[in-house]
Amino acid sequence: GIQVEQSPPDLILQEGANSTLRCNFSDSVNNLQWFHQNPWGQLINLFYIPSGTKQNGRLSATTVATERYSLLYISSSQTTDSGVYFCAVDGSGNTGKLIFGQGTTLQVKP
Amino acid sequence: NAGVTQTPKFRVLKTGQSMTLLCAQDMNHEYMYWYRQDPGMGLRLIHYSVGEGTTAKGEVPDGYNVSRLKKQNFLLGLESAAPSQTSVYFCASSYDWRYGETQYFGPGTRLLVL
């Protein structure tokens, strides 16, 4: 099956710093999403981005489908950005069967 | 509009006991999913449904059963709980994944099997 690898596994930032999270996947995918899991466990969808670039406030994401990777950019990080960031892909033909990466744990220090 | 809700929030079971987790959504979504999340790992799909009356196996279906008798509800059953099923269970729903609809997640159910 399709493999999803995220890097780095852990990241510690000072408030105000920028960061880039990476997601590599082993096969072509129909869909790709980025999620944020906050410290209370709630999963929030950040981007649906099978290809191209999207921006939402301080967050942006780019997926290069031909090279099988996606990047999540966080600018001017805030303590509320702390948590785990997951990349998830669907390679099954649009059934929504997401395969999740292991996640990147981000800690933003004040 | 409550979104996706899960019942219960937390449960402790003894090995061999059975239980049912309830997921409900009020967004008229067609697709519903059950995932489990183990410590330090991403989510893994247990079962999913593409519409009322349908169910299908995901990545880790063994030991679980599901039913979708009503469009808004998706039930996950454990017939004989095992310690390996200790996990956090998340339900999700989406309108129609074929058109890129994002998945919306419930708050999770924490299950401990002793």
- If pLDDT is split at 50, 70 and 90, which confidence band does B98 have? low
pLDDT value at residue A94: 61
Q: Mind listing the pLDDT tens digit for each residue in A54-100?
A: 999 999 999 999 999 999 999 999 999 999 999 999 877 666 788 99
- Closest residue in A to B40 (Cα) is A102
What φ, ψ does residue B83 adopt, rounded to 5°?
A: -55, -30
| Cβ–Cβ below 8 Å for A98 and B43 | yes
CB atoms B40 and A100 under 8 Å:
no
pLDDT at B77 over 90: yes
For the stretch B16-70, pLDDT in tens is 999 999 999 999 999 999 999 998 788 999 999 999 999 999 999 999 999 999 9
Residues of A in contact with B59 (CB under 8 A): 1, 97, 99
Chain A partners within 8 Å of B105 (Cβ): 35, 42-45
pLDDT band at A23 (very low <50, low <70, confident <90, very high): very high
Strand-pair partners of A84: A37, A105
- Please give, one letter per residue, the 3-state secondary structure of chain A: CCCEEEECCEEEEECCCCEEEEEEECCCCCEEEEEEECCCCCEEEEEECCCEEEEECCEEEEEEHHHCEEEEEECCCCHHHCEEEEEEEECCCCCCCCEECCCEEEEEEC
Interface residues of chain B, partner chain A, Cβ below 8 Å:
31, 33, 40-45, 48, 50, 56, 58-59, 88, 90, 92, 94, 97-98, 100-105, 107-108
pLDDT given for residue B39 in this prediction: 86
Q: Is pLDDT of B97 > 70?
A: no
Contact flag B58-A95 (C-beta cutoff 8 Å)? no
**Local confidence band at A31 (pLDDT 50, 70, 90 cut-offs):** confident
Average pLDDT, chain B: 93
- Which of B45, B104, B108 shows the shortest C-beta gap to A45? B104
- Distance, in Å, from the CA atom of B106 to the CA atom of B65, rounded to the nearest integer, reads 19
- Which residue out of A30, A43, A87, A89 would a mutagenesis test of the B interface target, given it has the greatest number of B Cβ atoms within 10 Å? A43
Furthest CA-CA distance within chain B: 42
Between CA A97 and CA B55 the distance in angstroms is 12
Q: Which residue of B has its CA nearest to A90?
A: B97
Is residue B100's pLDDT more than 70?
no
Asked if the Cβ–Cβ distance from B88 to A41 is below 8 Å, we say yes
